[in-house]
């Protein structure tokens, strides 16, 4: 046995990860903000929702802002959740290989870890909490025979994955994937009946947390405009209708044309401003918003459904093109690959007494990130391939925690795939979870790669 195999580099790995956290906080605090995060901070301070963003993050920003004004506490907490999870992974193996430390350093050099962890974005918070919840499930799987540890880690996993789902609605896929990974991890030692019961119990517990917490938070931060409760879904429908009309200008818009002909005309005229890269270009269509938001209840969903059914080939082509923009980002600069400083609506910034910011450090961080533009480092496709390969390797190695971490990869791939039907813009951050899950899975493999060699030797003989 070589010296590298005998030595334990766990202390080195954990020290480097914690140093990485210090570096991330040093270069990013008090954090980077865009329109969404500025509005969410304002919602948290005012204890009232004014957007259709998930309420949990607004509430949390408000509570942490009350302890220390601004977003520094949020950034430190959010990054701390991820880095603590990466540290915890090293406790799943008796010895840590030096390769894990090397991979972490390489990951830290990417904008996804070095800069994104300083961004006050729900996409980053969702990814961090989804990974933390999955790591808890990995510990539960490895320590299933220890009853107290088992239930503590299961509870932690359910809560963290529920928080992730409350931050990003389609983030519930991470909870489902975590449960599937847990089922696979337990099937050999406890049988399918017990493992399925554990998986279903996890989903039930996570769902209960989501329902109870969401109901409580909606009372704590009431919606100022109740009509925006379904705004997100309506916006997707508007975008899809214009996208299909761009391909087939003669497509029927019934029942909208009968009940609100002006709205139908406005949607047809908006095709001149349509872009598969982002919905924002439709703001240039004069009068569009006034017409489409004043339609009778139920008419727009019915029109969208009829259009999808009757014009499905055009709808599918439209959705595939929108997904191509977000997944392959052919025009990366149009997809906000990185954002530093503070930008947002002037009135909201004034309300918060928060000036717009573009400091020298912000510019240096952006310039650093720009070195990766056009490279595989800032491209989701390579990370999707890494995630898929990592999932296969984890399933082949077959440790209990491996099955759970394979579930993380499956969840990240499914999460990315969900944007095939919900994407409205190609912002790079929307699929951030995919990149981060792939990095985490690779690090988990590298913590103890020896088992892989033995597994492949058995498969080849």
Residues 6 or more apart whose Cβ sits within 8 Å of residue 215: none
Express each pLDDT in 298-356 by its tens digit.
999 999 999 999 999 999 999 999 999 999 999 999 999 999 999 999 999 999 999 99
Residues near 312 by beta carbon (within 8 Å), at least 6 away in sequence: none
Token digits for 356? 């717009």
Query: Angle between the 35-46 and 55-67 helix axes, to the nearest 10 degrees?
Result: 70
According to the model, what pLDDT value does residue 293 have? 86
Residue 53 has what DSSP assignment?
Answer: S
Intervals of the chain under pLDDT 70: 1-6, 226-229, 451, 453-461
How many whole angstroms separate alpha carbon 330 and alpha carbon 48? 38
Question: What letter does residue 371 receive in the DSSP assignment?
Answer: T
CA dihedral 225, 230, 231, 233 (to 10 degrees): 180
User: What pTM was estimated for this model as a whole?
Assistant: 0.95
CA 50 centroid distance within chain: 22
Which of 269, 212, 274 lies closest to 240 in space, CA to CA?
274
Are 167 and 56 within 8 A, CB to CB? yes
Sign, Cα dihedral of 105, 110, 116, 122: negative
Question: What pLDDT was estimated at residue 455?
Answer: 56
pLDDT at residue 287, as a whole number:
86
Q: For residues 376, 378, 381 and 382, what is the CA-based torsion angle, rounded to 10 degrees?
A: 40
Instruction: Express each pLDDT in 313-325 by its tens digit.
Output: 999 999 999 999 9
Residue 451: CB atoms within 10 Å: 15
pLDDT for res 50: 87
Give the tokens for residue 249: 């200008």
pLDDT at 229: 61
Tens of pLDDT, residues 237-296: 999 999 999 999 999 999 999 999 999 999 999 999 999 999 999 999 988 988 888 889
Q: How far, CA to CA in Å, does 438 sit from each of 24, 175, 366? A: 20, 17, 23
Query: 329's torsion region: left (phi>0), alpha (psi -120 to 50) or beta?
Result: left
């Amino acid at each position: 046995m070589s010296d590298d195999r005998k030595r334990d580099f766990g202390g080195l790995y954990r020290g480097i990860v914690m140093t990485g956290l210090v570096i991330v906080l040093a270069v990013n605090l008090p954090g980077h903000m865009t329109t969404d995060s500025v509005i969410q901070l304002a919602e948290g301070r005012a204890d009232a929702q004014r957007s259709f963003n998930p309420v949990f993050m607004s509430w949390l920003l408000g509570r942490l802002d009350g302890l220390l004004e601004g977003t520094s506490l949020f950034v430190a907490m959010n990054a701390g959740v991820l880095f603590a999870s990466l540290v915890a992974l090293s406790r799943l193996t008796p010895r840590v290989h030096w390769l894990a430390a090397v991979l972490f350093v390489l990951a830290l050099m990417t904008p996804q870890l070095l800069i994104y962890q300083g961004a006050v974005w729900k996409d980053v918070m969702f990814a961090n909490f989804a990974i933390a919840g999955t790591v808890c499930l990995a510990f539960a799987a490895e320590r299933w025979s220890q009853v107290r540890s088992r239930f503590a880690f299961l509870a932690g996993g359910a809560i963290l994955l529920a928080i992730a789902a409350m931050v990003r609605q389609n983030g519930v896929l991470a909870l489902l994937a975590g449960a599937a990974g847990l089922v696979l991890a337990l099937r050999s030692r406890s049988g399918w009946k017990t493992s399925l019961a554990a998986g279903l119990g996890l989903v039930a517990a996570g769902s209960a947390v989501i329902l109870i917490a969401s109901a409580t938070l909606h009372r704590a931060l009431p919606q100022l405009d109740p009509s925006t409760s379904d705004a997100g879904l309506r916006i997707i429908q508007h975008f899809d209708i214009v996208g299909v009309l761009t391909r087939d200008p003669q497509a029927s818009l019934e029942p909208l044309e009968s009940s609100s002909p002006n709205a139908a005309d406005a949607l047809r005229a908006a095709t001149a401003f349509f872009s598969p890269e982002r919905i924002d270009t439709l703001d240039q269509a004069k009068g569009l918003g006034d017409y489409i938001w004043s339609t009778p209840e139920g008419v727009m969903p019915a029109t969208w459904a009829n259009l999808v059914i009757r014009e499905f080939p055009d709808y599918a082509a439209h959705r595939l093109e929108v997904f191509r923009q977000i997944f392959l980002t052919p025009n990366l600069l149009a997809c906000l690959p990185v954002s530093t400083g503070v930008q947002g609506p002037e009135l909201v910034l004034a309300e918060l007494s928060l000036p717009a910011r573009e400091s020298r450090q912000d510019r240096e961080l952006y310039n650093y990130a720009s070195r990766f533009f056009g490279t595989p480092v800032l491209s989701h496709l390579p990370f999707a391939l890494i995630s898929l390969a990592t999932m296969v390797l984890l399933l082949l190695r077959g440790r209990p925690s491996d099955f759970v971490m394979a579930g993380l990869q499956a969840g990240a791939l499914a999460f990315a795939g969900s944007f095939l039907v919900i994407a409205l813009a190609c912002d790079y951050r929307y699929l951030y979870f995919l990149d981060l899950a792939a990095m985490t899975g690779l690090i988990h493999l590298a913590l103890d790669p020896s088992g892989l060699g033995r597994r492949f030797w058995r498969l080849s003989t």
